[in-house]
């Protein structure tokens, strides 16, 4: 696609439920990043993929969060047993390679846990 | 660990005037990149301007320019001839330039810019 696509745009879920957020990066981009942006804050790093592997998952807040990128393109961020504190905008970004400085962002998924 | 600080939660400027957004950062690295991103209500982060730390010359992109002071660890954004479409949240961000690093972006808390007609 022309840009980074994230679905759904908005997601409302009940506390305790499981959610999946999808990111479709720009075709050919090997580096993919997930960030979380809480209200009134800047985005915070969650996880970085280079190809299919999670090269750095140091930003994941706890073991309820997990992400995959099985074929090196689309990535899914999975959150188990959602809590109200998980409510945020989840942003995905991709870049041509790890060393490339320009990261292109999607429009994010706004997750609301009620 | 690196940190980025934006001390101006909100700024306002008259259309056609000039405004400067402030950013300071802390790092022990000598080689890195600094960025300004714009985030309109659509939520998509848009790259405004980029500065390589090893370059002394300040980056410029049309109406946008930076004042990069490496010793002071300061990186301000100047918007000239402000337009209504410039109204958005602006984030300053840092990225390590070292090979092998994740090269994740570290963001400040943002400055909300309002442009008055």
Query: Which residue in B33, B99, B104 is closest to A33 by CB distance?
Result: B104
Nearest to A72 by CA among A54, A98, A46: A54
Nearest to B77 by CA among B95, B97, B61, B56: B61
- Judged by a CB distance cut-off of 8 A, whether residue A25 touches chain B is no
Confidence at residue A98, expressed as pLDDT on a 0 to 100 scale: 65
- pLDDT tens for each residue of A18-52: 999 999 999 999 999 999 999 999 999 999 999 89
Contact assessment for residue A67 and residue A82, using Cβ atoms and an 8 Å cutoff: no
Rounded to a whole number of angstroms, the distance from the CA of A42 to the nearest CA of chain B is 5
Q: How far apart are CA A90 and CA A71, in angstroms?
A: 21
Contact assessment for residue A33 and residue A103, using Cβ atoms and an 8 Å cutoff: yes
The reply to whether residue B103 touches residue A55, judged by beta carbons under 8 angstroms, is no
> Residue B96 in 3-state DSSP?
strand
Confidence at residue B100, expressed as pLDDT on a 0 to 100 scale: 64
Query: Which residue in A91, A102, A107 is closest to B47 by CB distance?
Result: A102
Confidence at residue A5, expressed as pLDDT on a 0 to 100 scale: 97
Q: How far apart are CA B4 and CA B105, in angstroms?
A: 10
Maximum alpha-carbon separation in chain A: 39
Confidence at residue B101, expressed as pLDDT on a 0 to 100 scale: 64
Rounded to a whole number of angstroms, the distance from the CA of B8 to the nearest CA of chain A is 13
Q: How far apart are CA B109 and CA B23, in angstroms?
A: 10
Could you list the pLDDT tens digit for every one of the 117 residues in chain B? Answer: 899 999 999 999 999 999 999 999 999 998 899 999 999 998 999 999 999 999 989 999 999 999 999 999 999 999 999 999 999 999 999 999 876 667 899 999 999 999 999
Q: How far apart are CA A27 and CA A94, in angstroms?
A: 9
Confidence at residue B97, expressed as pLDDT on a 0 to 100 scale: 86
- Judged by a CB distance cut-off of 8 A, whether residue A96 touches chain B is no
With residue B79 as reference, give the H or E element that holds it. Answer: strand B74-79
Q: How far apart are CA B67 and CA B75, in angstroms?
A: 6
């Amino acid at each position: 696609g022309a840009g980074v696509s994230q679905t759904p745009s908005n997601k409302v879920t009940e506390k305790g439920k499981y959610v999946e957020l999808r990111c479709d990066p720009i075709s050919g981009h090997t580096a993919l990043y997930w960030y979380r942006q809480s209200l009134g804050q800047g985005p915070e790093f969650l996880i970085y993929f280079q190809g299919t592997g999670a090269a750095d998952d140091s930003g994941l807040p706890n073991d309820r969060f997990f992400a995959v990128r099985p074929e090196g393109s689309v990535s899914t961020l999975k959150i188990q047993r959602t809590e109200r504190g998980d409510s945020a905008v989840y942003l995905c970004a991709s870049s041509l390679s790890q060393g490339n400085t320009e990261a292109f962002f999607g429009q994010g998924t706004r997750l609301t846990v009620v | 660990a690196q940190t980025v600080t934006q001390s101006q939660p909100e700024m306002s400027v008259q259309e056609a005037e000039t405004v400067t957004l402030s950013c300071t950062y802390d790092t022990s690295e000598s080689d890195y990149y600094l960025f300004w991103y714009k985030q309109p209500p659509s939520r998509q982060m848009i790259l405004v301007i980029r500065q390589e730390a090893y370059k002394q010359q300040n980056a410029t992109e049309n109406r946008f320019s930076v004042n990069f002071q490496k010793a002071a660890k300061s990186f301000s954004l100047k918007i000239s001839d402000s337009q209504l479409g410039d109204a958005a949240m602006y984030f300053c961000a840092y990225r390590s330039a070292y090979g092998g690093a994740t090269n994740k972006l570290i963001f400040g808390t943002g400055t909300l810019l309002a442009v008055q007609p």
